[in-house]
Each structure stands twice: as structure tokens, then as C-alpha cells.
Chains A and B, each alone.
Chain A
Amino acid sequence: MGSVAEDVTPTVEKKKSSSNSTFTRVIKYSGFRLLSLFVTVVIGIYLTIMIANMGGYVDQMMKAEIQERITMQIQMNPAFKNLDPAEKTRLTEERIQNEIERLDLDQPLAIRSARFLKNALTMNLGRAQHMTSDSGSRNVRLIILERLPYTLLLMGTSQLILFFSTLFIALALSRKYGSFWDKVVIALSPTSAIPAWFYGIFLILIFAAILRILPFGGVIDAPVPDDFLGRALSVLKHLILPASAWIISTFPLSIYNWRTFFLIYSSEDYVDTAKAKGIPAREIERKYILRPTLPTIITSFALLLIGVWTGATILETVFNWPGLGRVIFKAIGLYDTPVIVGTTIIYAYLLAATVFLLDFVYALVDPRVKIGSGGKS
């Protein structure tokens, strides 16, 4: 019946992987996946460009704005008082034309958007039309990169705290089904329907307006403290309220979801079998509940990473937090298309990369999934 007959204690052979065919299969699949993701990214970005321009509508607005502005400028400028009307008109037109060319508004939309797209995809994010970075540069990439750390700080801290604490608490909670705390969590979960910025307003009301122990917003005190420790503490102080707002909003539902998830997984038959085998409870939790749920946990973590990036535009607005969300908001207010699109592009790339990596991680963690077997449920 297939056993090794010679030895009394049969040796256990390691399964040899059929190396070559698996390798080529993985490569082929990865290539295909990369291509389709790339197409997705391209289409997504193009759509964003089109929307950011409203199909040429924004161009018209900008041209009108330029016309008005420059005409005003020339009227007001005392140096030009003595020019006769014809000359003034000519000068005005010349300046308008310059401005239009500077902003590339004279090219037809199709060409502009195509060029935009090509640049975007090569991460050449161009120059902003109105916005500047802190150092005065108009380089969109720089502008974005300057603001990024703030968003990362806020969202990263909040999300990481959330992720690990909710997982841990939910696992503990799933052992105590029907207990008091279980009921409390269930009762409180609808409160997550209220977004973070909402809680933020309340927090500001209580801690900044009434109690006056935490700041209303911003990221650091003014005047800025001299030493590093002072600065760090100041930033930390400003971090408390927005991070708390995010955590308070997301916490209840997160715990509920994970707890339900673990409950479902702990009622599987193989968990019962493990229990019958007399395996200690902690080991069952580790090998029979956590391990099978690992793919889901990892996916969730990946999505969390994406969430860190996109940040919370409104939360940042409410707290005057100088992060990426505020950048987008400001850019939209200034009709600064390159910045809007630049942010979207980086986001799109990050998303595509995460999705791609996820496939690999899935295969590593769940033996039922083989890369390229189309194992996406």
C-alpha cells in the first residue's frame, strides 16, 4: 500500500517541488497580472485627469481667470499709465498668451491629457500650477512628499494601534461569548457609523474649548520649541485628539467584526476535533483559529496600509493637520490639476503594488491557494 518496505521505521521524504514548471507558471502568471494591473492603473489615472479637468471646462475657467487677472494687473500698474490703449491691449494680450503657454493651456485637451498621462505613469509629476512646497518649489512630487509624513504619522499611528489592539481584544472576546463585555461591544458597534471627523469636533469642543488642555488643531505649537524633544512632545500633544477621533470612530465596529469572525472560525469542526484531542486552549487558538484566518488578517492589514495613505481628508481639515488630505483639498480649491493628479497617481501605484503582493502572500500563507491557479475566491 505504498509504504517504504525496507526500514522498520519508515523515513519521511520531503516532497520535491516540480521546480521548473512551477517557476515558469508563476512567472507567466505574475507577468499577466502585472499587465492587467497596469492597464487598470492607466485607465484609473486617465479618468481622474479627465474629471480633474471636467473635459476642458476647467481650462476655460482658468483662461477667463487669467484674462481678468492680467487685465487688472495692467490697468493698475502705474508704469503703464502712459501707454495708449492700443499698446495696452497688445501688452495685455502678450502677457495673457505667456501665461497660457506657461500653463500649457493652448494645447488641445487630448494632447495635454495624453502627455499628462505619460508623465504621470513615469512618475514625472510635473510642476504645480499654483501651489508651492514649503521650500518654494513647484515640483509636485516634492509638494506631495513634504506633506506625506504628516499623514503617515497621523494615520499610521492610529491604524496600527487600532489593528493590533482590536485583533487582540477580539480574540480574547471570542472566548467569552455572551459575557458582559461581549454584550457591551455588540451594543456599542453602531457608534462606528459616526465618522472620525465628527468625533473630532466633539473632542475639540471638550478638550480644547471647554477644558483647554489640548490644542484646537495644527501640528505643532507656535512658537516652535527649540530642542528636538520639545518639538517631538509638541507634535505628540497635537497628535492626541485627531488620532483619538479616528480610533474612537473605528474601534467598536472593528472589534465586533473581528470577534464575529473569530467566533465563526472557532465553530469549525476541526476546532472541535482539536479540542477533543486535548490540545491546550492557547495552542488551539494559535494553530486552529489564527492560522486559518491569517489570509484574511493579512488582506485586512494591506487594506489598512492603503487607508493610511489616503488619509482622512475631512479629519485633517477639521484639525488643520497639514497632511495629504489637506493638500488635495487645497489643490482642488486652486484648480491645481497637477497636484490632484499627482496624488492620485501615487495612490494608484501603491494600490496596484499592494494587490499584486497580496497574491503572493496569500499563496505563502494558505496552502490551498497556488499562485496562478486562479485561486481568487
Chain B
Amino acid sequence: MKNFISTFREILKYPSAIFGSLVVLALVVASIIVVVKIPYSEAINIWRGGEEIVGKNPRTVPPIWYNWFRKDKLVVSLDMVEGDEGVTVEETVTEGGTNIKTTTFEFDYQYNSFPQDLVFYFTSTYQDKQPFASVKIFTPDEREIKAGSFAIGTTHTYPLNQDDKLRKKLDGVVPNIGLFIQEGDEAQKVVQGVYKIQVELITFEKDSTAQAEFVMHGQVFGWAGTDHLRRDLTLPMLWGIPIALAFGLIAAMGTSILTMIIAAVGTWYGGFIDGLIQRITEINMVIPFLPILIMIGTFYSRSIWVILGATVALSIFTGAIKNYRATFMQIKESTYIEAAKAYGAKDNRIIFRYLVPRIIPLLLPGLVSSVPGFVFLEASLALLGLGDPVLPTWGKTINEAYGNAALYRGWYYWILQPAALLMITGLGFASLGFALDRVFNPRLRGM
């Protein structure tokens, strides 16, 4: 135990180790939190997208914090329902059971650019007679614009941009722009101020209800922005952490431990088996690693478990076996093992008190240092289009971004966010592995 503490203290002498450990720790903690707060099935569901889940998000917009760095703020998305601040409801009941509910959505528009769209979502309950809705917009420069009026079913979606009549009213200018400029303004300067949108919902039955929800698709959304399918990118950013970690750690551990076992077997039995292992290693060198993975991904299955298995299988017969072999040879012939056997130590004791502590210094740095490679491998495969089809990962995000020419079209956040996360993960593990190597590798003592 004391040994453990003193080694630990020695590791912490290196600033790279401190950085690395902090990063790794943060990633592990984040993974746990993410997996607990957003369970797997829920995550997959959200990621699958679809109208109900993502309809209210704008399309391909950068994250909110872009605005922190801009003087000229981009339009923040709005989602207002009854009970929210800025929403007032008035109900009037007439004889005959009709209920007129006027919901007024009020917001202060202080931007210099235009939202992507304004959409109304209606829900209602009724028996036979459908409720009736009408929308009016009151602009700060005192225009009153009547948008559509129509009957609504149990659900109804009314995007203003798809209303051609409204468009005609605005001189052919698209509503998301037209509503916010002065009539006839060619320069399209935004009229800033308080906008009020009045939604009148008329229900004709006693128990009939109707609600309106107002969504403004802005130019920024969420902590990570959205993608081309309107999906909130915070999900893949967050869920990418446990996935990357799991893949990297499992692959690294599996490979290291299996390689060690193979080396041990070879050293122990020697002769034919040893030679066989050497031959297999050579064959493994001949087989091209990445193309095989690509083949498996293309022909067989893109499931992350299959890829993981194939990766480990192809990574265990490498030159690293030689290093383990050298150490095992040393240990096997060493006199303190002989002495232990001579005083009658049981095999278990020899293995756990003598062999394992000798192996860990060799195992640990290599293990930690190999994690970034595997994390990036998964991202690489995803980039090539061979990523797991259902999982929200960083690689997948980059792949989709690339496929939608994000760099050409200035949607830098789409690539940069997962890239930054990949980089931090890679650097964290690499730094830690590095420091571990300098502490544990006997040949590097004093270097």
C-alpha cells in the first residue's frame, strides 16, 4: 500500500500527469452522470429524431454560446406555451358554449437578423366540432398583420413560412423576414421592439379544449447547436463520452491483457508454441489492419461490438509481445522466484506477490497510452461511414458534418465540437500514459 502511495506521488510530480489524470477523471465522472441522467434507450430514441422529437428545433444552427462572443447577437430560439413568461391568456365565454381563448405571445426582438421560421403547434380535444384558430401579429411599428385562420384537429402545425397567402400579404417576402421589416423596405432592416402575436382559439363544445404553442426557430440553439436533421447536438456530444471511453478502455484493456497472456503462454511453454506465436504475429503483420476493419464494417456488420471484437483480435498479435516476453523471461529465470519456490510458496502467492507487481509497470503505461488510438479508430471508422448506425458518437457527428459539407458552408461548430472533445480525450489519456511510462519504465529512470 505504501508502495502504491509513493508511486502515486511520484506520478503526480509530472504536470502532464496531473493534466491527464484530471481529464480522465472528468471524462469518467461525466460518463457516469450522462448514462444515469439520460438512459441508453432514451438516448437512442432522441437520436433517432423524427418530427415529434426534433420538430421544434431549428435546422443546422450553432450553439447559444456563440452569442457570448458576438456584439451583434444571433436570434435565440423561442418556445412559448401557456404559463410561460410573456404569454397571456384571456378567455371569453359566449352563450352557446363557444369559448374564445386569446393567447398573446409577447417577445422583445432586439436582433439584426431574422429567425429561420415561426411555427405554431396546436393541440385540441373535441367531440365533433373542430376548434378554430386564427393568428394575428402586431409589430412594434404598429402594423397589424393577419396570418392564417383555420380549423384545427387534435394536433395541427402551422409554420408561417409555408403560408403563401401570408407571403402575398407581405409583398412576396418570406414571412420569417417579412414580418420583421417595414413594408416595402428593400434594404430589409429589422424592426426591433416588442412583437405581440395574438392567437385566437375558438372551441365550440363545452368540454372542448385547445392550446397553442409558439416556436421561433432562431439562429442559435442549445449548448451544442443542431444538425441537418434538427437534432440537438448536445446528445451526441454528451453520449459520445461514455461510448468513446467504453470503446477505448475495453479495447485497450482487452488488447493489453490478452497480449500479456499470450506472451506468458509462449514463454512458459517455449519451443513449438513460442514459434507458433511468432509465426502468427508475422501473419498478423501481413494482414492490413484498417482495410480488414473496413471490410468487416462494409460486408458484415457495423455494430460497435463486432468492430470492437475485430479490433482486439487484430491487435493482440503485435510486436508488443516481445516486450512482455523479455520481462517474463527475466522473471522466470530470476532467483527470487526460485527462492520462493524453494521455501515452499504456493503458485498463487508467487503469481500475485511476485509476478503481477512486476508486470503492472509494463502493462499500465502501454494500456493508457493505447486508449487514444482506439478512440480515434472508432471515430475514423465513423468518418468513413462505417460507424455504428444507431449510436450517437463523435465520429458519427463529424461524418455527417463532412457529408453535409459543413466546412464549406461555415457550420464549423458541427465539426469543431466533436473534434475538440476527441482531442481532449486523446490528449488526456496520452499525457497520463506518458507520465506513467516515465515513472514505470525502468530504462527511463532519470531521463
Which residues of chain A have a CB within 8 Å of any CB of chain B? 36-37, 39-41, 43-45, 47-48, 51-52, 54, 57-58, 61, 177, 186-187, 189-195, 197-198, 201-202, 204-205, 208-209, 216, 260, 263-264, 310, 313-314, 317-318, 328-329, 332-333, 335, 340, 343-344, 347-348, 351-352, 355, 377
CB distance from B80 to the nearest CB of A (A): 36
For B300, the chain A residues whose CB sits under 8 A away are 54, 57
Of residues 250 to 293 in B, which have CB atoms within 8 Å of A's CB atoms? 279, 282-283, 285-288, 290-292
For B46, the chain A residues whose CB sits under 8 A away are none
B122 contacts A by Cβ under 8 Å: no
B419 touches A209 (CB 8 A): no
A51–B297 alpha-carbon span in the complex (Å): 11
In the complex, residue of chain A having the shortest beta-carbon distance to the beta carbon of B310: A51
CB distance from B296 to the nearest CB of A (A): 7
Out of A193, A202, A344, name the residue touching B430 (CB < 8 Å).
Answer: A193
In the complex, residue of chain A having the shortest beta-carbon distance to the beta carbon of B286: A44
In the complex, residue of chain B having the shortest beta-carbon distance to the beta carbon of A48: B287
For A201, the chain B residues whose CB sits under 8 A away are 398, 407, 415, 419
A340 touches B286 (CB 8 A): no
For A204, the chain B residues whose CB sits under 8 A away are 407
B324 contacts A by Cβ under 8 Å: no
Q: Chain B, 296-315, contact with A by CB distance < 8 Å: what is the 0/1 string?
A: 10111000000000000000
Q: Chain B, 394-433, contact with A by CB distance < 8 Å: what is the 0/1 string?
A: 0000100010000110101001100100110011011101
CB distance from A82 to the nearest CB of B (A): 40
Out of B20, B285, B408, B427, name the residue touching A194 (CB < 8 Å).
Answer: B427
B419 touches A260 (CB 8 A): no
Which residues of chain B have a CB within 8 Å of any CB of chain A? 15-16, 20, 279, 282-283, 285-288, 290-292, 294-296, 298-300, 322, 369, 372-373, 376, 380, 383-384, 398, 402, 407-408, 410, 412, 415-416, 419, 422-423, 426-427, 429-431, 433-434, 443-444, 447
A57–B299 alpha-carbon span in the complex (Å): 8
Given contacts A201-B415, A264-B447, A344-B287, whether A332 and B434 have CB atoms under 8 Å apart is no
CB distance from A50 to the nearest CB of B (A): 11
A194 touches B372 (CB 8 A): yes
Out of A41, A52, A202, A317, name the residue touching B384 (CB < 8 Å).
Answer: A317
For A208, the chain B residues whose CB sits under 8 A away are 407
Given A45-B286, A260-B447, list of 17 further CB < 8 A pairs? Answer: A41-B286, A43-B283, A48-B288, A52-B299, A54-B300, A190-B426, A191-B427, A193-B369, A193-B429, A194-B422, A209-B412, A314-B380, A317-B384, A328-B288, A328-B291, A332-B294, A344-B286
A sample of 25 cross-chain residue pairs with beta-carbon separation below 8 angstroms, ordered by A number, consists of A36-B279, A40-B283, A41-B286, A45-B286, A52-B299, A61-B299, A177-B447, A190-B427, A192-B430, A193-B373, A193-B427, A194-B426, A194-B427, A198-B419, A198-B423, A201-B407, A209-B412, A310-B288, A314-B384, A332-B291, A332-B294, A332-B299, A335-B298, A344-B287, A352-B286
